[in-house]
Amino acid sequence: MNDKLRITYRLAEEGDLDEICALVQAAVAEMERRGIFQWDEIYPAREDFLNDIKSRSLFIGQTEFQNTKRIAVIYALNKECDEEYKTAAWTIQGDWRVLHRICVHPNFQNQGIAKMTLAHIEQKARDLGAASIRLDVFSQNPFSQRLYERAGYRKTGEANWRKGLFYLMEKDLR
């Protein structure tokens, strides 16, 4: 990781929406370049991020880039989940949070930001009283799978959505 890189996290605001959508567009193009067809024009959409902002569950991580504050990473953290989450064999009892739409801008990838942000998210969830974090990861995204597995997330089930097979995962925060 770049030792000079500092990330400041905060709740996203409606004024951040254009930069958030540009970040996601750049990330989708990079994923497609790598043969990962997980996100598209249908999901995640601007409306998804606007709803996250309105529900106060979308966060941004900012850093200095070319003498300007830029959003390097985004994520949503809440208790919302699809019906398929009910099919997983969750093992951690107690309160939980679900991680959605974590995304690092390509300009900031491969610098440890996702790992740093996961640690931040886990601490935030602990502070909210959560015993675990739940998430889903696209079966054809080896980069995200490796990130979560190295961070201690364990597979608890599977879900089939529009884009294919996703793994349901959880991490014990206690």
pLDDT digits (tens, 9 = 90+) for 134-169: 999 999 999 999 999 999 999 999 999 999 999 999
Does 35 fall in a domain?
A: yes
* pLDDT for res 41: 87
Does 31 fall in a domain?
A: yes
Does 124 fall in a domain?
A: yes
* pLDDT for res 1: 44
Does 76 fall in a domain?
A: yes
Does 99 fall in a domain?
A: yes
Domain limits at 136? Answer: 8-172
Q: Say whether pLDDT at 34 is over 70.
A: yes
- Dihedral sign, Cα of residue 105, residue 108, residue 111, residue 116: negative
Q: How many domains does the chain have?
A: 1
pLDDT digits (tens, 9 = 90+) for 47-73: 999 999 999 999 999 998 778 899 999
Crossing angle of the two packed helices 113-127 and 142-150, in degrees rounded to 10: 50
Which residues contact residue 131 at a Cβ distance below 8 angstroms, ignoring those fewer than 6 apart?
Answer: 92, 93, 94, 95, 96, 172, 173, 174
β-sheet bridge partners, residue 167: 137, 158
Does 54 fall in a domain?
A: yes
The CATH number covering residue 159 comes to: 3.40.630.30
Does 3 fall in a domain?
A: no
Crossing angle of the two packed helices 17-33 and 46-54, in degrees rounded to 10: 130
pTM for the model stands at: 0.92
Does 96 fall in a domain?
A: yes
* Confidence band, pLDDT 50/70/90 cuts, at residue 2: very low
CB 75 within 8 A of CB 100: yes
